[in-house]
Amino acid sequence: MIETNDPNLRCWLDEANDAACDFPIQNLPLGVFTRRGEDTDRRRVGVAIGRHVLDLSIAWPELCPDLAGLGASLFSQPTLNPFLASGRRTWTLVRNRVSRWLRTTSAELRDNGELRVRCLIPMSETVMHLPVEIGDYTDFYSSKEHATNVGMMFRDPSNALLPNWKHLPVGYHGRASSVVVSGTGVHRPCGQTNPEDAPAPNFGPCRLLDFELEVGFITGPGNELGRPIDVNHAHEHIFGMVLVNDWSARDIQKWEYVPLGPFTAKNFATSISPWVVPIDALDPYRVRTPRTEGDPPVQKYLDGAWDWNFDLNLQVGLQSTQMRERGDAPAIISRNNFSLMYWNMCQQLAHQTITGCNVRPGDLYASGTVSGTTPDSRGSMLEICWKGTQPLTLSTGEQRKFLADGDTIIMTGACHRPGLPRIGFGEVRGTILPAIGG
């Protein structure tokens, strides 16, 4: 067991020991923040603990004077990229030090009241920012259940999966510039659509706006151009994971995707959660990638690292404008588990680089829509409402086939089992704003 994952560890900050807490001492996710009222040029790196943010730009030089230079170069930064580039040895060093400061057996921060006031900030007094400068963004299509549902809706139900799907992790390159942090509003996109009853394509606001429940991973040190990453060493290039909402304009996508795939239907926004959960924190929740009798063997470069899926519970809530005004809680419209993914993140990274493609610190890779085996575990409105034929009815009596202006989507995720601490991801939240133009 990794020392920092010991379920018996306790934090002197009592709130972090609550069984329902997303950010116990065994988690220690990293993010980028400012205090409320500060200019964004004051962004720096913090660690989530309980309901507080530990400011590493202050704590590190004070508590690690022998390594103070490390803190100045890594933690007084507007993104995590320099830290991600530093590699696994530094990641482990920092995680171990922070864990030790926060344990009930340690007094160096607990009993230093002046330092604690300066570096331990209530989350309610902070603003979270995009944690990384994303150079490249790849979106995969790795849920067998999601791919099957889409294939049944739009192709032959008896042959829902395309011939390549079980042989390689299908993916496409997304738009990194429009990845936004949780809480950022998303304007309804405009574009071309071609309704079945129209003689020619139309232009205007998207009518079939959707979310996609996904989980992403963020890379650290990459590889040289021309040198693939071995599947069994791929985890060494991955720092941590985030929740992802890959917003989708279904009607725009339907018209534009042949022959090259999604383009403007996906490029308008992708939302991610602000805290990057280290894969070391998730280690106790690793599970094997599912395979069933009759699945084809995989190519040698993908045949390995089978135990890098995670038992991660996911949930999606929808809250309309009327629900907020009435004080109604979000409707939970999907519950499922990330462990069902047919291709895991190590296989995805090995496939991305098998051509010799180079990856860099801060690159984002999303899993593709996560769907389960039952109707209440589907990961998009397209599936939940089955192409608009099975509308959702909300507590206000409103119905939804796709998303309306003012709707807020809230995705959450956490690993939890009896005897182990809850490792939470917080949330990724976004509200649909009216289209601009069109």
Same domain flag for 181 and 116: no
Per-residue confidence (pLDDT) for residue 437, from 0 to 100: 78
Q: Region 135-157: what's the mean pLDDT?
A: 94
Domain shared by 283 and 421, yes or no = yes
CB neighbour list of residue 60: distance below 8 Å, 6 or more residues apart: 67, 68, 70, 71, 75, 94, 97
At 281 the pLDDT is 98
Domain identity same for 113 and 177:
no
CATH of residue 53: 2.30.30.230
- 165, 223: one domain: yes
SS3 per-residue string spanning the chain: CCHHHCCCCCECCHHHHCCCCCCCCCCCCEEEEEECCCCHHHCEEEEEECCEEEEHHHHHHHHCHHHHHHHHHHCCCCCCHHHHHCCHHHHHHHHHHHHHHHECCCCCCCCCHHHHHHHEEEHHHEEEECCCCCCCEEEECCCHHHHHHHHHHHCCHHHCCCCCCCCCCCEEECCHHHEEECCCCEECCEEEECCCCCCCCEEEECCCEECEEEEEEEECCCCCCCCCCCHHHHHHHEEEEEEEECCEEHHHHHHHCCCCCCCCCCCCCEEECCCEEECCCCHHHEECCCCCCCCCCCCHHHCCCCCCEECCEEEEEEECHHHHHHCCCCEEEEEEEHHHCCCCHHHHHHHHHCCCCCCCCCCEEECCCCCCCCHHHCCEHHHHCCCCCCCEECCCCCEECCCCCCCEEEEEEEECCCCCCCEEEEEEEEEEECCCCC
Same domain flag for 122 and 143: no
Task: Please report whether residue 13 resides in a domain.
Answer: yes
pLDDT bracket for residue 121 (50, 70, 90): very high
Give residue 291's domain range.
Answer: 137-433
Percent of the chain with pLDDT over 70: 100
Tell me the residue type at 72. Answer: A
| pLDDT on residue 438 | 66
Which of 129, 159, 181 terminates a domain? The answer is: 129
**Same-domain check for residues 97 and 195:** no
> Facing residues of 31 across strands?
46
Q: Is-contact 335 314, C-beta < 8 A?
A: yes
Q: What is the domain-level CATH number for residue 329?
A: 3.90.850.10
Report the distance separating Cα 422 and Cα 384, nearest Å.
28
At residue 155, the pLDDT reads 85
Active site residues: 146
73/212 same-domain check: no
| 147 and 7 within one domain | no
If asked whether residues 116 and 228 sit together in one domain, one would say no
One domain for residues 67 and 125: yes
- Domain-embedded: residue 438: no
In a shared domain, residues 18 and 90: yes
* Number of folded domains that form the chain: 2
Residue 409 CA to residue 378 CA, distance in Å, equals 14
Among 101, 129, 157, the domain-final residue is 129
How crowded is residue 437: how many other Cβ atoms within 10 Å of its Cβ? Answer: 8
Domain boundary among 107, 129, 151: 129
Residue bearing the bigger pLDDT, 260 or 197: 260
Mean pLDDT check: name the lowest of 95-109, 134-148, 151-165, 242-256: 151-165
Judge if 106 and 169 occupy the same domain.
no
Q: Residue 158 has what pLDDT? A: 85
Res. 138: pLDDT tops 70: yes
Q: Write out pLDDT tens, residues 211-240.
A: 999 999 999 999 999 999 999 999 999 999
Structural Rg of the chain based on CA atoms:
22
